[in-house]
Structure 1
Amino acid sequence: MSAPRWLSPAEQRAWRTHLALHKLLMHRLDRELQEHALSLNDYEILVNLSESPDRRMRMSDLADATIQSRSRLSHQISRMEIKGLVMREGCPDDRRGTYAVLTDEGWATIQRVAPVHVTGVREHFVDRLTDDQLEELVNAYDPIVEHLKKLR
Structure 2
Amino acid sequence: MVRWLTAEEQTTWSAYIRMRQRLEAAMAAGLARDGLSMPDYEIMVALSAAPGGRLRARDLAAEICWDKSRLSKHLARMDTRGLIERAPAADDARGISVCLTERGREALRRAAPNHVELVRQLFVDELTPDESTLLRTLSDRVATAAEELGGID
Q: TM-score range by the shorter chain?
A: over 0.9
> Does the 8 Å contact 2:28/2:37 carry over to 1?
yes
Residue 64 of structure 1 corresponds to 62
Determine the C-alpha separation between the residues in 1 that align with 2:9 and 2:52: 45
Q: Residue type matched to 2:43 in 1?
A: I
Residues 48-101 of structure 1: per-residue CA shift (max 9 Å, x gap): 001100100000011111111111001111111111100001112111110111
Residues 87-117 of structure 1: per-residue CA shift (max 9 Å, x gap): 0011121111101110001111111111011
Determine the C-alpha separation between the residues in 2 that align with 1:68 and 1:129: 29
Secondary structure in structure 2 of the residue aligned to 1:88: strand
Q: Residue type matched to 1:13 in 2?
A: T
Residue 43 of structure 1 corresponds to 41
Residues 110-131 of structure 1: per-residue CA shift (max 9 Å, x gap): 1111101101101111101101
> Which deviates more, 39-48 or 141-150?
141-150
Residue 34 of structure 1 corresponds to 32
Q: Residue type matched to 1:103 in 2?
A: T
Sequence identity (%): 36
Structure 1 runs, 4 residues or longer, greater than 6 Å off? none
Residue 84 of structure 1 corresponds to 82
Q: Residue type matched to 2:25 in 1?
A: H
Aligned pair partner of 2:131 in 120, 130, 133: 133
Deviation at 1:141, TM superposition (A): 1.7
Secondary structure in structure 1 of the residue aligned to 2:69: helix
Q: Residue type matched to 1:77 in 2?
A: L
Secondary structure in structure 1 of the residue aligned to 2:116: helix
Residues 23-60 of structure 1: per-residue CA shift (max 9 Å, x gap): 00001100111111110010010000011001000000
Secondary structure in structure 1 of the residue aligned to 2:85: strand
Structure 2, unpaired ranges of 5+: none
Alignment of 1:105-144 (within 5 A): 105-144=103-142
